[in-house]
């Protein structure tokens, strides 16, 4: 492949410069540029819509996370309360059981003697 000199490159570039372009090609180029701008603006607007949608989903997710945290705290509080109540009931039953054992032991000792 033959290499091009700087001078040859500049001459070639000059041939394709704005002043040497055929008006049809100039119109075609302007039309392509215009279409590119229209398409790029459309793409940008769609990307912005997607970004807004993501932001809305993030806010919704944050609200759900906060709500779940609140509900989790409420459930833990209810469990702690239930546990405390059950612990009291079991303690009472254990005391009553010990009392019954003592009474049975006393009765058994009396009946043996």
**Is residue 23 over pLDDT 80?**
no
The rounded distance, in Å, linking the Cα atoms of 53 and 59 is 10
- Would you say residue 20 lies in a domain? yes
What pLDDT is stored for residue 101 in this prediction? 96
- Would you say residue 41 lies in a domain? yes
Compute CA distances 17 → 8, 13, 54, whole Å: 14, 6, 46
Domain tally, the chain: 1
- Would you say residue 94 lies in a domain? no
The rounded distance, in Å, linking the Cα atoms of 58 and 68 is 15
What's the domain range around 54? 6-80
- Would you say residue 68 lies in a domain? yes
- Count of Cβ atoms closer than 10 Å to residue 21 Cβ: 14
- Would you say residue 58 lies in a domain? yes
The rounded distance, in Å, linking the Cα atoms of 25 and 60 is 52
- Would you say residue 66 lies in a domain? yes
- Would you say residue 99 lies in a domain? no
pTM over 0.75: no
Mean pLDDT of 65-85: 95
Tens-place pLDDT, residues 80-108: 999 999 999 999 999 999 999 999 999 98
- Would you say residue 89 lies in a domain? no
Cα angle 45, 50, 56; round to 5: 125
């Amino acid at each position: 492949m033959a290499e091009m000199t700087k001078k040859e490159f500049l001459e070639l570039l000059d041939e394709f410069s704005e002043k040497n372009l055929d008006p049809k090609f100039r119109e075609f180029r302007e039309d392509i540029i215009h279409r590119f701008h229209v398409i790029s603006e459309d793409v940008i607007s769609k990307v912005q819509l997607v970004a807004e949608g993501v932001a809305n989903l993030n806010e919704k997710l944050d609200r759900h996370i906060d709500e779940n945290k609140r509900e989790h705290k409420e459930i833990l509080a209810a469990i702690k309360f239930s546990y405390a109540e059950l612990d009291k009931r079991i303690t009472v039953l254990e005391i009553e059981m010990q009392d019954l054992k003592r009474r049975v032991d006393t009765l058994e000792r009396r009946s043996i003697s």
